[in-house]
A and B are shown apart, each in its own frame.
Chain A
């Protein structure tokens, strides 16, 4: 295998592994969220990372909010 083939393999493995891990996190969270019928908006998980998302709740109340029950 020439050096360019090895280099591209390295980039492919790195980008592919990161993308696969990101996909697994998002799909698992979506599955659990749907299973429970709840969501964890940024305001409840890491409040300093996002502003309020809910127009009815401009303060971004802490805690997990029930959505569908």
Chain B
């Protein structure tokens, strides 16, 4: 019996653990500091003015979304490639893909919303059908489809296989979105931080952006771990329901 239940404290049950509680509090503190840096400490930009403050949440959300989509793709590939040879039939990989995919969709939605708000201030409109915005919207819709497949009623292995294939197909769009500002003429600005030339963002603004990336990464990791464990709980509930149904059916047979 778990000590958690002995203490009668439900916070120690379910998806929480010592490590995730520490991660959660550190992530929360980092987000508070990030808000302070982004809204108060960071200076206004010479060209963008105060709108630069939205970039401290816009850039980290797409950073987390990219990373999570890549994780979804890698876990999906591993599920298809190695899943059948594993003792758990690849459930571990499938759970990682599902958790990362859902977190990614949340952060991509926030990317679109914060980008639209930034565009309203800077361009004067919420939306333009330029290459970056259009490909990002397509990516959002394709991963909504991925989540829909994951939630379709079907045999768990068939569902996982379909979802893994969908994740790999959707991942094709990731480099297209990222390099769209290089490949086509777009209204969207090019990347501010690049490895092949000097960054266009420096000083306090650069430090704030880097800290924001860290804060959002910590929070996304916390969300993903908890979502992974929730997927596992959902699977257990599904299995328990099936086992109950089978035993009820057997009992009917004995009574008849």
Contacts and interface: CB of A to CB of B under 8 A. Distances in A.
Nearest to A21: B106
A2 B117 CA distance: 11
Contact of B15 (A14, A17, A26): A26
Interface of A is mostly: helix
Interface residues of A, number: 46
Contact of B117 (A9, A21, A22, A53): A9
Interface of B is mostly: helix
A33 B222 CA distance: 19
Given A7-B51, A17-B106, A56-B3, A35 B237 contact: yes
B145 to A, nearest CB: 20
A28 B230 contact: yes
Nearest to A20: B106
B254 interface: no
Nearest to A30: B14
Contact of A50 (B18, B53, B222, B230): B18
B229 interface: yes
Contact of A15 (B20, B31, B118, B233): B31
A49 B226 CA distance: 12
B106 A42 contact: no
Considering the complex of A and B, which 10 residue pairs feature the smallest CB-CB distances, nearest first? A42-B17, A39-B13, A50-B19, A67-B5, A33-B14, A29-B14, A50-B17, A29-B15, A49-B19, A10-B117
